[in-house]
Amino acid sequence: MSENEKQWFKNWTFKKCLYFTLIFLVLTIIGSIINQIAHYTEECNDITDNRNGADYECTSFIGTSFYQHDGSDGGHYLGRDNTLFGDVWATLDLFSIFFTLFFFSMAIVRKISEWGKNAIMLRMEHTENARIAQEEIRKKKIIANEVKAREREEAKDYDSAIVIWEELGEIGEAARVRTLKTEQGSVKVTQKVVHGDEVTKTEIKDSVLNRSNVGSGGSSKMQELEKLAEMKEKGIIDDDEFKQMKKEILGK
């Protein structure tokens, strides 16, 4: 089917085809009525010339019909000679019957086409609605997981929070929680509580130095140096304090 034919077919909607079907159907009915009127108003007479075997004729405003008696009520119909009006009307009657059937067929085809198109549209609409519903569910799930991740973060359950953020694809948030976990896990002790009493850096250094004075054996100094190195590693003392205290221990 060419583009012009497709466009022509597209222009003929179901309602348009049905409208023309009704028009030509009315013309067909009018033609049938006129034929009945002509039949009931015709005048019949016997003929003697036996034209084509006919022995009587019936004349009306649409033409003259010829019959041959065969024992039946109406006789055997042999044909009709139409008047000018009869010829014109017979032609119109045939056209009206033809176009009635044509447009009725077109209406059926268009209706079937519309049903198919509507079915496709409904299926597409159903698919779109299902997609929107799934998208809404997905968004709600994401929001719920985000809330859960923040709750785990507030509870300092950083590992669970990281897992949730990564499942959501929020790599930046997962990295942020990892950084927070690292900062929280780093030993940045500036003060320490022992048996309820606050011990400052100075007191810790004094304690180490005092213990280094208890006995002058190399084993004791070695233990104090190991303790001093551990304090430096944990960030309790800095490099300058480590060097100063090491010097004081070794000088004893």
Q: Does the residue 202 lie in any domain?
A: yes
Q: Which amino acid does the sequence have at 100?
A: T
Residue at 133 is within a domain: no
* 172 and 198 fall within a common domain: no
Residue with tokens 């010097």: 247
Q: Report the percent of the chain where pLDDT is more than 70.
A: 78
Question: What is the pTM assigned to this prediction?
Answer: 0.42
211 and 114 in a single domain? The answer is no
For residues 63 and 94, membership in a common domain is answered with yes
Same domain, 11 and 113: yes
Q: Does residue 106 sit in the same domain as residue 89?
A: yes
Round to whole Å and give the CA distance between 237 and 248.
Answer: 15
Report the domain count for the chain: 3
- 223 domain-assigned: yes
Given a cut of 90, is residue 98 above it in pLDDT?
Answer: yes
Residue reference for tokens 């005048």: 43
- Domain containing 242 equals 192-251
pLDDT, residue 9, reads 62
| 11 and 100 share one domain | yes
Q: Are residues 180 and 201 in the same domain?
A: no
Place of tokens 């998208």: 135
Q: According to the model, what pLDDT value does residue 102 have? A: 92
Q: Mind listing the pLDDT tens digit for each residue in 165-208?
A: 888 888 888 898 888 888 776 644 444 443 434 445 555 555 55
Residue 148 is assigned to a structural domain of this protein: no
The dihedral formed by the CA atoms of 76, 81, 85 and 88, expressed in degrees to the nearest 10: 90
Average pLDDT over residues 97-119: 88
Q: What is the pLDDT of residues 133-175, one digit of tens each?
A: 888 898 888 898 889 888 888 888 888 888 888 888 888 888 9
Alpha-carbon torsion angle 218, 224, 230, 235, nearest 10: -140
Nearest to 236 by CA among 213, 197, 202, 196: 202
| 131 domain-assigned | no
Q: Kindly state whether residue 159 falls inside one of the protein's structural domains.
A: yes
Q: Under a CB-based contact definition with an 8 Å cutoff, are residues 56 and 44 in contact?
A: yes
Q: Is residue 150 part of a domain?
A: no
89 and 14 co-located in one domain: yes
